[in-house]
Amino acid sequence: MRLITIFTHQLSGIHPKLSSKSKQISSLMYTAQVRDFTAEGLASLLKLYPIHVMRRQDVDYPPGVPPSEDKQLYYVVAGLRQFELLSVFLALQATSTSQSAESSVQNTVNQVFEQIQVIEQTDLRPKQILELAGDDIAGSAVLFSLGTKVAAQLDIIRQHTGSAVLDKYPKYSSERRLADRAKVSD
- Give tens-digit pLDDT for 102-161: 556 566 677 789 899 999 999 999 999 999 999 998 898 888 888 788 888 888 888 888
- CB-based burial of residue 79 (10 Å sphere; 0-12 exposed, 13-18 middle, 19+ buried)? buried
pLDDT higher at 75 or 25: 75
Q: Tell me the average pLDDT across 77-91.
A: 92
Instruction: Give residue 52's pLDDT band: very low, low, confident or very high (50, 70, 90).
Output: very high
Name residues whose C-beta falls within 8 Å of residue 84's C-beta, 6 or more positions apart in sequence.
none
Give phi and psi for 63, each to the nearest 5.
Answer: -60, 135
The rounded distance, in Å, linking the Cα atoms of 110 and 166 is 22
Give residue 152's pLDDT: 85
Give residue 44's pLDDT.
Answer: 94
| One-letter amino acid of 133 | A
- 36 φ, ψ to 5°? -80, 0
Measured in Å, how far apart are the chain's first and last C-alpha atoms?
52
pTM: 0.81
Rounded to an integer, what distance in angstroms lies between the CA atom of residue 80 and that of residue 13? 10
Residue 116 burial (10 A CB sphere; 0-12, 13-18, 19+): buried
User: Which residues, in sequence order, are bridge partners of residue 5?
Assistant: 117
Whether residue 77 contacts residue 121, with contact meaning beta carbons closer than 8 Å, is answered with: yes
Helix (H/G/I), strand (E/B), else coil: 41: helix
Closest CA to 75 of 125, 133, 10, 22: 10
